[in-house]
Amino acid sequence: MCGIVGYLGPSQNSVQIVLEGLKRLEYRGYDSAGVSFIDEHNQMQNFKKAGKLENLKSELVGKNLVARTCIGHTRWATHGGVTDNNAHPHSNDILSIIHNGIIENAHDLKSQLEKEGVVFKSETDSESFLELVTFELRKGMPIAQAISQSFKKIHGNSSFVVLYPKTGEIYAIKRGAPLVAGINDVTSEALVSSDPYALAGMVHKLYFPEDEVLLHLSAGNHHLINFYELDLTKTKRYLSKKQDLSVQVSEKGEFEHFMLKEIHEQPELIRGLTQYYFGGEGYESLTRVAKLKPMRILVSACGTAAYAGMVAKDFFEGLNRIPTIVELASEFRYRNPIIQANDLGLFVSQSGETADTLAAQAMCKKAGIQTVSIVNVEGSTLFRDCDENLLIRAGVEIGVASTKAFTQQVLTARLLAAALSGKLDDADYRVKLAGKFSLLAERIDQLLANIDNIKNIAESIYHKKGFFYTGRGVYFPIALEGALKLKEIAYVHAEGYAAGELKHGPIALIDEDIVNIAIIAPDLYEKTISNVQENKARKGIIVGIGQLGDKEGTRLSDYYIGVDFKGLDELAPLYINVVNQLLAYYMAKFKGTDIDKPRNLAKSVTVE
């Protein structure tokens, strides 16, 4: 969702530093950008523009940007259209603020403030916080108190950064939304952001505050950043960590898009994950989780991560016989789910900041059960809130379409299943499982070295009217994930279906302009073939993905992608998923869409 960056320090280049941070956050998706800074004459300057960061940069050309303190924002519209006026920062003569999240009672707050004579300049909910703080300041309240008192009055999940020109200081606070601060104590710089990635290479130490902790960034502070409770007593409610992210990860190298780069990273990441969990630090975390001996596993996640959870269910039920319920976090949180003692809450997420997933975790925690994450971003809110964490070690994922994270999530779940089975200590078992991981990496390498067939098929079908991805059993979540990838980056209608289910309704849609991407796996082979036949009989275009050399699959298909399932066993769905990732990527490329930053989407969905 919205990106936040704030800088305070001796450098007079604060605007450039903030713009660099915002650039790194572009991958999260946004529709406008802006900055506020305090110039060399101690005057606050504000610039904001709808559209890409480049629009804002053009606006800044020729301006005097000498400034030691700056805050910047990339907006993903929720309240109010995409206009210059609705872009952040929101400012008046005494204050400037940036916001990520939603103020649920903004309407009421605005009405109350309007009665006091406040005139709002934008349609946003965010401006209500600006005017609330300003209202308190005008009554004579000191700034820190004005922020904490105002923060108490707003409902919903939000993070705010406030620039106070009178003292040249920055304040930040959050509830249920991401916020991280960092310091470089050599150069005496302090930064704040919604994403640690924006601060990579700029700071040595990161601080992740808990909810309702007020951060005060000040050059005059001995510590550069001080942390306070809402009653303004000092607090230690934050996690600190060495900053070890590299900036280089943000480069596309030889690849045209981050998505393609990230697809290609998968074999190496699989090898890394094997080492981490079999030979490295990860082993301990797996054994700790296995000791929880759950009677049931409740998986909550969103989007691609939820599909990874569905594959995980197959492992936990198939291999461990542990009943597993997978639910979309956005549904789970508003039902009255049955949560029992000895259940384990398992939360799958790339970012660790997805609002619904966080809410589901909080519900489980409140119900008193153990919560575990399968997560990519170490130090994210989910990581901090769960009792245990299993890192997926996917590195930074920039493409909005999640690819490598899915593979790593599923493999981490497979490792957890191994740990839960109690066989992880058995050397033979470990060698066998590590061998399977390594075979998967090898097969993906081979696939990536021979993509011409997939590319040609993508070129032949990308303009078709609609796409049904079908699969049975554990290939059903793979079908769902394949369809999600295609619709989000190629903007075409695609659905994932259990192959046996089409005849219960959707088959009515099949005609010569509809493509059936059919996963013809060795499991339930004959039944799947019959389903393909039903679609072919209705003139559907069949793209079969099946065993190399399978005559029947090839004969039935208009286009056939032969792959080698042998030896991969329960990991084969991940291999097929890479085929789907490539198909989606090339279809989007032929359509000419913005693959890494598809329209209307954000990388990390921090609002519900």
Q: Using the rule CB under 6 A, is 495 a contact of ligand M6R?
A: no
Return phi, psi of residue 322, to 5°: -100, 120
Measured from the CB atom, is 6 or 399 closer to ligand M6R?
399
Output the six-digit token pair for 505.
């309704």
Q: How far is the CB of 397 from ligand M6R (least distance, A)?
A: 8
Whose Cβ is closer to ligand M6R: residue 301's or residue 532's? Answer: 301
Matching residue, tokens 């790593």? 408
Cα atoms in the Cβ-side hemisphere of radius 13 Å centred on 593: 26
Least distance CB 457 / ligand M6R (angstroms): 21
Question: Under rule CB under 6 A, how many of the chain's residues touch ligand M6R?
Answer: 16
Residue from the set 86, 134, 150, 304 that interacts with ligand M6R by CB under 6 A: 304
Q: Which of 150, 605, 607, 608 binds ligand M6R (CB under 6 A)?
A: 605
320 lies in the site for ligand M6R, by CB under 6 A: no
Catalytic residue among 2, 70, 302, 386: 2
Nearer to ligand M6R, 132 or 301 (CB): 301
380 binds ligand M6R (CB under 6 A): no
Residue entry with tokens 């109010």: 80
* Selection from 550, 572, 568 nearest residue 560 by Cα: 550
Given the residues 404, 436, 485, 603, select the one marked as catalytic.
603
Per-residue string for binding with ligand M6R, 445-484, x by CB under 6 A? ---------------------------------------x
Tell me: does residue 607 bind ligand M6R (CB under 6 A). Answer: no
DSSP 14-69: HHHHHHHHHHHHGGG--SEEEEEEEETTS-EEEEEEES-HHHHHHHHTTS---EEE
Tokens of 606: 């921090």
Closest residue to ligand M6R: CB criterion: 303
Verify binding: residue 305, ligand M6R, rule CB under 6 A: yes
CB of 353 to ligand M6R, least distance (A): 7
Interaction of residue 488 with ligand M6R, rule CB under 6 A: yes
Query: Is 152 marked active-site?
Result: no
- Identity of the residue, 309 or 540, whose beta carbon is nearer to ligand M6R in the bound complex: 309
Nearest to 224 by CA among 247, 240, 245: 240
Choose the binding region for ligand M6R from 86-94, 245-253, 349-357, 452-460 (rule: CB under 6 A). Answer: 349-357
When asked if residue 535 is in the footprint of ligand M6R (CB under 6 A), the reply is no
**In sequence order, what are the beta bridge partners of 349?**
375
Cα angle for residues 533, 534, 538 (degrees, 5° grid)? 110
C-alpha pair distances (Å), 427 with each of 66, 272, 278, 341: 62, 19, 10, 33
Burial class (CB in 10 A: 0-12, 13-18, 19+), 210: middle
Q: Which of 302, 410, 420, 574 binds ligand M6R (CB under 6 A)?
A: 302
Give whichever of 322 and 607 is closer to ligand M6R, judged by the CB atom: 607
Region binding ligand M6R by CB under 6 A among candidate stretches 42-50, 202-210, 347-355, 416-424: 347-355
Which of 319, 397, 310 has the alpha carbon at shortest distance from 352?
397
Residues 34 and 48: their CA atoms lie apart, in Å, by 4
* 528 lies in the site for ligand M6R, by CB under 6 A: no
- Residue 291 CB contacts under 8 Å (≥ 6 apart), including other chains: none
Q: How far is the CB of 492 from ligand M6R (least distance, A)?
A: 15
Residue 130 makes contact with ligand M6R by CB under 6 A = no
Work out which of 224, 286, 400, 532 binds ligand M6R, going by CB under 6 A: 400
Cα dist. 106→43, 80, 128, 129, 154 in Å? 29, 12, 6, 8, 8
The beta-carbon contacts of 247-250 under 8 Å, at least 24 apart in sequence, are 247/200, 247/201, 249/395, 249/396, 250/24, 250/197, 250/396, 250/398
Cβ atoms of 603 and 1 within 8 Å: the answer is no
Please indicate whether residue 174 is annotated as part of the active site.
no
The residue among 174 and 430 lying less far from ligand M6R, judged by its C-beta, is 174
Residues lying near ligand M6R in the complex (CB under 6 A): 302-305, 349-351, 354, 357, 400-402, 484, 488, 604-605
Q: Which residues are catalytic?
A: 2, 603
